[in-house]
Amino acid sequence: MTTNRIKSSAAVCVPNGLTQKSKEVEERGRWGTKAEFILTVMGAIIGPGNIWRFPYLCYRNGGGVFFIPYIVFILTCGIPLFFLETALGQYTSQGGITCWRKICPLFQGIGYASHLIIAFSATSYIIILAWAFFYLFSSFSSDLPWASCGNYWNSGSSCDAAYIQIKV
């Protein structure tokens, strides 16, 4: 995203209808190309949660039969709500909380709720990434911790006898 630091002057209207002297307003940043914006939005929408969770949801809820209502819901609710949020942010030139407050002060709870959901999602993704890094760094040891059944966390029935290597 490119940021233009050119300052332009703008007249400010006050409630009595008169204009105050112009004041310097910093110009907003702009995307370099439309493709840059689309790819950034796709990365934010799809995210790791949808990549990991979608196959499980298809398997759990009937396979291809689940796919039909999923697509219908995405087309009727997901995409229109995404366009609503994008248009509100662009129209009000505000963030997620303040754009709803600018429309109606009672609606600022929608902004707080969406930010809370994002915080919870980010926390759960961080935990999953921590597991991935733990196993990545553990895989560099000479004997892999999960390659044998003699670990402290194993119970008597957690190992298959076919995988136990007997050393003579």
Q: Is 61 flagged in the annotation as binding?
A: no
Bridge pairing between strands 23-26 and 7-10: antiparallel
Q: Is 32 flagged in the annotation as binding?
A: no
| DSSP secondary structure letter of residue 60 | H
Question: Residue 111 class from Cβ within 10 Å (0-12 exposed, 13-18 middle, 19+ buried)?
Answer: buried
- Distance CA(111)–CA(113), nearest Å, equals 5
| DSSP secondary structure letter of residue 151 | S
Cα dihedral 126, 45, 105, 102 in deg (nearest 10): 120
| DSSP secondary structure letter of residue 13 | B
Strand partners, 25: 8
Binding residue numbers: 43, 50
Binding residue numbers for Na(+): 43, 50
